[in-house]
Amino acid sequence: MKIKKLIVFKMLLFFSLLNGFGQNFYEVLEGPIPNTKNLSSFTINIIGYNQDFVMAEWENYINELNGLTYLNSVYKGVIDTTVKNIKFPILNNQIVNLHTRFSPNSSLTGILVSVWIEKQDGSFFSSKENLDKAKQIKNWLLGFQNWMRQINTRMILNKNSFKPIRPPY
């Protein structure tokens, strides 16, 4: 009886170790905006980079949207920013405010980048309104992750002629 319990315990321990720090590089998580239930927030996990580098590259990535970036808050490694008055191509060039939160992931191996979109009338984008636009936003965030990976490849290989390719909107 003790041997069976020991075997079951070892199996549970083994499987919990496999799932404990599982991270998917190619997934954008969709959840509610903080303090709301019906509005959408999109989060991507960028592994292997520090927060300053991710924030600087995020600013370069959205620079072509011609917005003005404001730092809202910094608290225990969580940084909230807002990019105001940008023409967002995914939402038919509507003028929006792009709210972004940078925070360490749970295993401290990378950065979570969470984005939610405030429309000009003060309402927030919800994937329930338009599933196709939500999918395009997810692909846009995956494009940012690919952008980061290409920059990392350039830095490792030390090829000055290599330029990362921006994904289309």
Question: Residue 20's pLDDT is what?
Answer: 46
Q: What is the dihedral of CA 31, 34, 40, 44, to 10 degrees?
A: -60
Domain ranges of the chain: 26-157
pTM over 0.85: no
Instruction: Name 68's bridge partners.
Output: 84
Architecture of domain 26-157: 2-Layer Sandwich (3.30)
pLDDT tens digits, 23-63: 455 678 777 776 776 788 899 998 888 888 889 888 888 88
Residues of the chain with pLDDT under 70: 1, 6, 8-26, 34, 37, 152-169
Contact 21, 125 (CB under 8 A): no
Phi, psi of 50 (to 5 degrees): -90, 165
DSSP E strands in the chain: the ranges are 28-32, 40-47, 68-75, 78-88, 94-104, 110-119
